[in-house]
Amino acid sequence: MSNSDKKEPRAARSVHLWYTVPDTATSVRNTIIVRRCQTGTYFCAINFRCGYIGIQELYDGKKVVIFSVWDNKTDDDPETDRQAKATYEGEGVDIQRFGGEGTGLRCLLPYDWAIDEETRFWVDAKTDGKWTEYSGYYFDQRKNEKFHIATLKTITGGKLLCNCAAFVEDFRRDGKSYHQSRKACFCDFQYCDGEQWTGCNKAGFTADQTPVLNINAGCEGKLFFLETGGDTCNCGTPLNNTVKIE
């Protein structure tokens, strides 16, 4: 097949930063600073074992905070209800079931975040038998306060937080979105193992299987960044390598 016959992707390639977090971590926090955005973009601050939290610009340009937890897929007890549950819901938060790439509970809250503005997120985990409760928070710049979005629980076998990442995803997938660039910085990623907070000054740069090269990752001073789509050039960190803040 010639280059002219190849079809362009419908979406920009998803890019990720993977942090090293122990299985015993009970809390994780991270901060997002969006530099460039397009409609249909998800900037995830904390992707963890069973869910994720961050900000989105929707198809219509509305901006939201999102916090989701997946259902359990592996518990083999036929008497067990494997769906995620909500045990706390913040004021104004819309909690709904979702499907597609897995199933679970999704929390959406309108929040008019701005370009170059810091938005800070936390996730706390607490075990309850084979269930784990995940509480999601963000710092509301408009009200100058930490806001408890929701607490969602799912079956984990008593596991806490690990496999943590940040990512940028184009979910519009209309062909045009591939030609538009998105960029976000991430800073002050920390996890708590007991009572002590530990920072991470390095992260692994990965991407999904979309066969394009207009992706990038690196550092802006003490900030990590991820970039994808449009005229992005991979002039920072090579894919599948480590980004390190000196």
- For the chain, which residues make up each domain, given as ranges? 3-244
Q: Tokens at residue 2, please?
A: 């010639």
Confidence band of 209 (pLDDT split at 50, 70, 90): very high
CA–CA gap between residue 206 and residue 238 (Å, rounded)? 9
Confidence band of 72 (pLDDT split at 50, 70, 90): confident
Quick check: 75 pLDDT over 80? no
pLDDT of residue 2: 41
How, if at all, do strands 165-170 and 63-70 pair? unpaired
Q: Are 15 and 206 in contact (CB under 8 A)?
A: yes
Q: Are 50 and 154 in contact (CB under 8 A)?
A: yes
pLDDT of residue 58: 96
pLDDT of residue 236: 86
Average pLDDT over residues 92-113: 92
Average pLDDT over residues 130-135: 95
Quick check: 74 pLDDT over 70? no
Q: What's the order of all strands across the beta sheet hosting 94-98?
A: 94-98, 104-110, 63-70, 51-57, 41-48, 165-170, 15-18, 202-207, 242-244
Average pLDDT over residues 29-56: 97
pLDDT of residue 101: 72
Quick check: 5 pLDDT over 60? no
Looking at per-residue pLDDT, the higher value among 101 and 197 belongs to 197
The sign of the CA dihedral 104, 110, 115, 118 is: negative
CA–CA gap between residue 95 and residue 86 (Å, rounded)? 8
Confidence band of 80 (pLDDT split at 50, 70, 90): low
| Residue of 156, 220, 162, 148 lying closest to 193 (CA atoms) | 162
Fold of 3-244: Jelly Rolls (2.60.120)
- Average pLDDT over the chain, rounded to whole? 92
Q: What percent of the chain has pLDDT over 90?
A: 83
CA–CA gap between residue 103 and residue 72 (Å, rounded)? 9
Q: Are 145 and 173 in contact (CB under 8 A)?
A: no
**The pTM is what?**
0.93
Average pLDDT over residues 161-186: 95
DSSP track, 50-92: TEEEEEEE-TTS-EEEEEEEEPPS----TTS--S-EEEEE-TT
Confidence band of 76 (pLDDT split at 50, 70, 90): low
Least confident span in 61-75, 86-100, 184-198: 61-75
